[in-house]
Structure 1
Amino acid sequence: LVKKLHSVNEGLKKFAHVNKKAFEQYSNFTKQRDQLLQRREDLDKSATSIEELVEILDQRKDEAIERTFKQVASNFEEVFEKLVPAGRGRLIIQRRIDQDEEDEDEEAQQSTIDNYTGVSIKVSFNSKVDEGLRIQQLSGVFAIQKCDPAPFYLFDEIDANLDAQYRTAVASMIQSLASTAQFITTTFRPEMLVTADKFYGVLFNNQKVSSIRAIKREEAMEFVDQ
């Protein structure tokens, strides 16, 4: 028995270099691996959810742009027709896929938000270039006001380059929109005064210091007619 025990001990000496904690370390590493794999799986699921959310948000933004544009475009046509009864104006949304096909039916096109590049304006009426440009700009402002009104608007001589018929049309348009917003305008033309509610005159004294005071419509008319 003693010889056999000695023989076994001698045999065990051959395994003296073996890491006695190998099994414990293996168990720990296996557990860590399983935890990392589970974490990776969770992250993959989260990434998928985020990608799906981004796709949904992009789709909603795309739909919101389409919906808002259609509303503004419709308002633009309506406003332009009121300002220029003999003319016609429309907004055209620009996309990368149809930059050379502006007249193609807007309803038949599907795009992502990255495909939008801008908005172009097509108008037809007989008038001076600067006058036509001002009418386009005002039509755009009024169209957006109908869609997303601001509490007040400040216009500085927007009628300066317009003929009398257009000045009258612009004044009438402002009057029709004044129930939902406040419009403050400066002008040297009488047409804008006809539909206004309040009038203020800016005066200069001998020291070239300006002052402002409330005046009557008759005073305002007399001033612009000078």
Structure 2
Amino acid sequence: MSEMDSLQDKVKDLDNLINEKINERMGPLKKRRKTLEKNLKENQTHLNQLVSEKTAAELNLKKVEEALANNMKSQQETEQEMEEIKKQIAELEIVAKEITEKYENAQEECHKKEQELNDLRTRVREIDAKFNAIKNSELDLKLESEEKFKFLNEKREKIARYLAELESIKLDPIDEDEDDQQQMEIDDQTPETNVKSSEQEKSKKEHMIIPILSDEELEHLSVDMIEKNIKSFHHERQNLSPNFGAIETFRKNRRDYLSKVADLDDITAKRDLYMEHLRETKDRRFKEFKTGYLIIARKLKELYRSITLGGDADLEFIDSLDPFSEGINYAVRPNKKTWKINIHLSGGEKTLASLALIFALHYYKPSPLYIMDEIDAALDFKNVSIIANYIKKRTRNTQFLIISLRNNMYELADRLIGIYKTFNITKSIPFDPIEFDRKFDVKNSCTQSTINTQTTTATQQSQQPMEN
């Protein structure tokens, strides 16, 4: 029994020794196995991750290829639209050229009318000067004629008086020599005067009665005294002879005067007609201008109050009787501030005031096209949004081309054209947000996010998006 026990003990010892040897040799192998299993598990996980990434990459590649194909198609459509836009621009340029020609023709016609008006004014001044000269001549002629008539009447009275005195004197028959001498004196005058003087002398001789003197009266008469009286009478008669040429001159001057008065009346009537036409034109211009002014002023007040959320604006004639000579005063009152004129406003306030006036003018007389260069540069975020929404909603049937770097301005655009520069080459990117949303069924927020992403990248490369 003891031997069996000892053998069993030896067997146990040997088993223990074998186990120890096995454990000594298997320990590193187990550790290595665990390490390999761990590495295998990690590699399997990494492999699964790579497979997932590969699958995702393949899906992304497929999506990118589809997006690229769509972009190529969209680019082709955009190029076609650009061609159509170019055609429309060419047509608009033709229309603009025609409008410009009409405007230039109207300006030229206006200049001609102004020149004609100036000529008429000059002619009216000349006519007034001639009229005054004719008036002065008329007065001079009137005074001269009055003096001539007065002088003539005096001479006629003297002639009548002397004839009466001669009729009361009896004379012997006058010999032919005296008649010849008188005839020679008369011949020195003009032919017309001679004829009239001859008729007058003949009339005098016919009406002259030589009285018959008594013997006593004849005794007191002497030949010398009679000859002396006769010579004296002849001398006085020659001095008293009327100048019939002055009467003819007066008649001629009177005819000229009446002709000039008729011309003056004709020219004065034409002047009055032109002045009346000018007055009516000025009145019509003032009425039309005032009608437009009242509409623009009322709309300006409304627009400025809406875009400034409580401000006020006013247009006022500097001279209410003649607004064309002095002009119009434009004053605004920004929200919660006092009234100011344009030169005392800040940059943003000037921008809002100017845009309000432009929109008021557009309301009165719409224009088909506006080009605005960074009108939002001096505005804050709120005012940029107000102006952008007004342009978007209120200005229908009008095209606005706006150069802007503010996203809350160009996010509302119907068309975007990004301008950027790479490698010293300027390029452009056209983009149609509405067409993009319609094709890819993207919500508005996603579209705005896409616009922001693309335009931000382009802006970093000196992009200036233009709203159309």
Alignment of 1:1-226 (within 5 A): 10=184, 12-16=186-190, 29-85=253-309, 87-96=310-319, 111-113=321-323, 116-125=326-335, 129-206=346-423, 208-217=424-433, 220-225=451-456
1:213 offset after TM fit, Å?
3.6
Partner Cα distance (1:170, 1:19) in 2: 97
* CA 24–220 in structure 1, closer or farther in 2 if over 3 Å, else same: farther
Work out the number of aligned pairs and report it.
210
Distance 1:175 1:113, change over 3 A: same
Query: Does the CA contact (< 8 Å) of 2:388 and 2:408 recur in 1?
Result: yes
Relative to the length of structure 2, the TM-score reads 0.40
Range with bigger deviation, 123-132 or 178-187: 123-132
The alpha-carbon deviation at position 222 of structure 1 amounts to: 2.3
Q: Are the aligned partners of 1:59 and 1:112 in contact in 2 as well (CA < 8 Å)? A: no
Q: Quote the Cα distance in structure 2 between the aligned partners of 1:121 and 1:225.
A: 39
After superposition, what is the alpha-carbon deviation per residue over 1:127-158, rounded to whole angstroms, capped at 9, x for unaligned?
99322221111111111111122221111111
Out of 69-78 and 44-53, give the one that drifted further.
44-53
Task: Write 1 or 2 for the structure with the bigger share of helix.
Answer: 2
The share of aligned pairs that are identical, in percent, is: 14
**1:204, 1:136 → 2: CA distance?**
34
SS in 1 for 2:327: strand
Partner of 1:120: helix, strand, or coil? strand
SS in 1 for 2:321: coil
TM-aligned CA deviation for residue 216 of structure 1? 3.9
Aligned AA (1:135): L
Q: Where do 5+ consecutive residues of structure 2 fail to align?
A: 1-175, 195-244, 338-344, 434-446, 458-468
Unaligned regions of 5+ residues in structure 1, if any? 97-109
Deviation string 1:3-29 (CA, Å, 9 cap, x unpaired) is 599678535413247689x68876655
Alpha-carbon distance in 2 for matches of 1:183, 1:161: 19
Which whole-Å CA distance do the structure 2 matches of 1:146 and 1:114 have between them?
Answer: 22
Q: TM-score of the superposition, structure 1-length normalised?
A: 0.76
Cα distance, 1:205 vs. partner? 2.8
Contact kept? 2:311, 2:336, Cα under 8 Å? no
Tell me the distance in 2 between the aligned counterparts of 1:181 and 1:175: 10
Identify which of structures 1 and 2 has the higher relative contact order when contacts are C-alpha pairs closer than 8 Å and 6+ apart. Answer: 1
Q: Residue 183 of structure 1: SS of its match in structure 2?
A: strand
SS of 1:188's equivalent? coil
Change (3 A) 1:223 1:77: farther
Seen in structure 2, the aligned counterparts of structure 1 residues 12 and 129 have a Cα distance that, compared at 3 Å, is closer
**Greater per-residue strand proportion:** 1
How far apart in 2 are the matches of 1:212 and 1:129?
Answer: 34
Q: Quickly say closer, same or farther: Cα 1:178–1:112, change in 2 above 3 A.
A: closer
